[in-house]
Structure 1
Amino acid sequence: MDENQNVFMAKVTEQAERYDDMKAYVMAVIESEGVKRPLTSEERHLFSVAYKNIVGVRRAALRVISGMEDRLNDDEEESEAKTRKSSILKEYRDIVEKEVVTICGDVDRIVREQLLPKVGAEDEKDVNQVKVFYHKMIGDYHRYLAEMYSNDNPDRPTAIDASRAAYKEAMNAGKDLGPLNSVYLGLVLNFSVFYYELEEDVKEACRLAREAFDAAYAVMDEDPNENKESALIMQLLRDNLTLWSAEDRD
């Protein structure tokens, strides 16, 4: 199929919630073009959605498995059956974790090697916004790895460092996008979550979220085209601020 047909099928499989198929169609677009041109806004969206859902299913599975392990550990009765169940759960968690590692590694490689080098080609508009989009993706997927790893896992600090570096690169690229830009606000939302969950730095998470929220709120009426998506992200920022600020006061 040509690239238009692959894009069409990516949208079809998105609606059908067949995200592995969706990824295959998007990758066909990426790989068919080689280094000829950057992805369009629509293609970037499809790439992001495919991988977000593919990794999201596995992240949700890990939360379920962890909950089952916790409930099993809460059972004070020791038995052969309990030991066997614990072993089975650990084996399955290891399988899912390896899948997450592979997915996150694929995203990092594709973005760095195939997508970022194309940014700016053919007089592409909004170059900085596209850079923010891609560096944010790198930060997100390393954050997923860091969240998954236990505190004593030697790979956790590496994932945290890689996530932080990517988010900072994205923040640097997005400093001139404007406070109401939805891509920039989405970056701030995720970077503040990084500070809260991985760095356990409540003050920095609140500072980052509050500054972005206040700056966007001050100019909301100036750009109605950005309002809908930006307003949704601003609501998420405010919800987090409410929760985190109360925790910081405590």
Structure 2
Amino acid sequence: MQALTRATSKVHDPIALFIAGAGNAVLIAGLMAVLGDTIEELNELARIYEVLELYPAMAQEMKAVADLRNEAGEEFTLDERNRLSIAYKHKTGQLRSAWRTTMEMIPSARNETTAELIRKVQNQLKEEIVADCHAVIKMLEKQNIGADEAGIFLIKMRGDYFRYLAEVDLDNSKFREEAGSAYEEASKLANELLPSTHSVRLGLALNHSVFLYEIVGDKTQARQLAKSALDGALQNFTKADEKQQEVTFILQLLRDNLTLWAANEDEEENDQVTVCHIDSRNLNKT
């Protein structure tokens, strides 16, 4: 295979140029991420940044890897696929967590000036999330996705990033529809091709059920999907599966979600009973 190399370009930002002193670096969240010239260097740098838990820099390396693969019409290797997922999962995950926190901060802001400042931060976070999501989706669209485990992983990933877009823009039905379509396509393939204890199939069921619960609002279907995935895996669980930390971790997440959702349902039912009781008492007084 011919070695893939990245075309270098000069840094046009004068501040970044002053810091970098060369065109082979990118300013990321205050960190100078040095981009490799070959796909081997990019992958190695991504591994280094992963160990250092510098995920924005890792994502930059993996985007360059993806661009090279897509330009050459090549598929990601297994390691590249996993590193791409890990990099953007952590990078975008931190932004999503911060965005959700701003949603909680606004109602309790001490005054309108503070609330407006929080909204500005929230909009900045949203812009970063949207940019990351579109970048990942664009990378995935250029891959030749087949009906196999790798294809299921990438289709699931597509669903995830459309779900993240839907999270920050609930009024945009396109994002919700694209996420649902990707999850359905991946689920159909996973149920046909992968065992019930496969980590990709379980991770897909986990994320799909969260999408149904949080974005679509179909709580019944979300619980049914999560329970079916959990029960199916436990019925076929073996000692070999027990040694796979990823499998046991996803199973625990499925259990946790089902427990949480059941508790939420109980609270909602109690709230309804309370409301009915208060309404009846008020009627009796009239």
- Match for residue 228 of structure 1? 245
TM-score between both structures, scaled by the size of structure 2: 0.74
Q: Name structure 2 gaps, 5 residues minimum.
A: 1-36, 270-286
> Alignment partner for residue 163 of structure 2, among 137, 143, 158?
143
> Alignment partner for residue 66 of structure 1, among 90, 93, 103?
103
CA distance in structure 1 between the aligned counterparts of 2:200 and 2:150, rounded to whole angstroms: 9
Change (3 A) 1:85 1:16: same
Letter in 2 for 1:243: L
* CA positional deviation for 1:227: 3.8
Larger fraction in helix: 1
- Match for residue 63 of structure 2? 27
Which structure has the higher relative contact order (CA within 8 Å, separation 6+)? 1
> Alignment partner for residue 128 of structure 1, among 148, 167, 170?
148
CA distance in structure 2 between the aligned counterparts of 1:214 and 1:231, rounded to whole angstroms: 13
Letter in 2 for 1:136: K
- Match for residue 9 of structure 1? 45
Contact 2:242 2:248 survives alignment (8 Å): no
CA distance in structure 2 between the aligned counterparts of 1:248 and 1:85, rounded to whole angstroms: 35
CA distance in structure 2 between the aligned counterparts of 1:28 and 1:243, rounded to whole angstroms: 39
Contact 2:66 2:139 survives alignment (8 Å): no
Let me know the Cα RMSD of the aligned residues: 2.0
Q: Which range moves more in the overlay, 17-26 or 230-239?
A: 17-26
* CA positional deviation for 1:225: 7.5
For residues 4-34 of structure 1, the C-alpha deviation after alignment (integer angstroms, 9 at most, x for no partner) is 2221110101122222221222223222332
CA distance in structure 2 between the aligned counterparts of 1:5 and 1:86, rounded to whole angstroms: 45
Q: Secondary structure of 2:238's partner?
A: helix
Change (3 A) 1:248 1:90: closer
Contact 1:140 1:190 survives alignment (8 Å): yes
Letter in 1 for 2:117: I
Change (3 A) 1:21 1:214: same
Change (3 A) 1:43 1:246: same
User: Which structure has the larger Rg over C-alpha atoms?
Assistant: 2
Change (3 A) 1:225 1:31: farther
Which runs of structure 1 show a deviation greater than 4 angstroms over 4 or more consecutive aligned residues? none
Does the alignment pair 1:173 with 2:189? yes
Q: Name structure 1 gaps, 5 residues minimum.
A: 76-81, 121-126
Does the alignment pair 1:38 with 2:75? yes
TM-score between both structures, scaled by the size of structure 1: 0.84
Q: Percent identity?
A: 31
